[in-house]
């Protein structure tokens, strides 16, 4: 499988991700794959699965919408929106976090590195009740 095909397969998988399908990550990720985002840095399939399982515990209706793909050699970038509702705060408002994933693939078309880039301050903290007010104030002060 070439990198473009592996990237398309991964994008399709994440757009349809569910609590049940998390156990199928082994079909896309190398057993020793590394994953990093603003909150986690882990290695190994069990740890990566744990992160995605926790997403369904912590949030309501989380899902990804892939908005773009760039493939170059054995690496790819996906741009995406992660949509969800908070369980503990305003549960009626659909939230969206915009970000990108840098992916490295091995010769078998399995992900060996998955690194997510997104702005936790703007995309998440500003949406929280108490912390959000402080973050918006801090951002305003930094821009003056």
- Domains recognised in the chain with CATH numbers: 3-118 (3.10.450.50)
70 pLDDT exceeds 90? Answer: yes
How big is the chain, counted in residues? 144
The answer to whether 10 and 111 are in contact (CB under 8 A) is yes
The pTM of this model reads: 0.82
pLDDT digits (tens, 9 = 90+) for 18-42: 999 999 999 999 999 999 998 899 9
The pLDDT value recorded for residue 44 is 98
Segment 106-131, tens digit of pLDDT: 999 999 999 999 876 655 555 555 55
Partners of 58 in beta bridges: none
Phi/psi of residue 91, each to 5°?
-85, -5
> Which class for 25: exposed (0-12), middle (13-18), buried (19 or more C-beta within 10 A)?
buried
Element holding 50 (H helix, E strand): helix 45-58
Predicted local distance difference test score (pLDDT) of residue 136: 52
């Amino acid at each position: 499988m070439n990198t473009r095909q592996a990237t398309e397969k991964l994008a399709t998988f994440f757009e349809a991700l569910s609590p049940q399908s998390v156990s199928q990550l082994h079909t896309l990720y190398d057993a020793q794959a590394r994953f990093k985002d603003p909150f986690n840095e882990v290695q190994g399939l069990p740890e990566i699965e744990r992160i995605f399982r926790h997403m369904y515990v912590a949030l309501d209706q989380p899902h990804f919408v892939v908005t773009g793909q760039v493939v170059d050699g054995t690496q790819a970038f996906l741009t995406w929106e992660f949509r969800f509702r908070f369980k503990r705060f305003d549960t009626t408002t659909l939230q969206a976090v915009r970000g990108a994933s840098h992916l490295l693939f091995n010769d078998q078309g399995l992900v060996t590195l998955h690194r997510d880039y997104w702005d936790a301050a703007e995309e998440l903290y500003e949406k929280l009740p108490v912390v959000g007010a402080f973050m918006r104030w801090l951002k305003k002060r930094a821009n003056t």
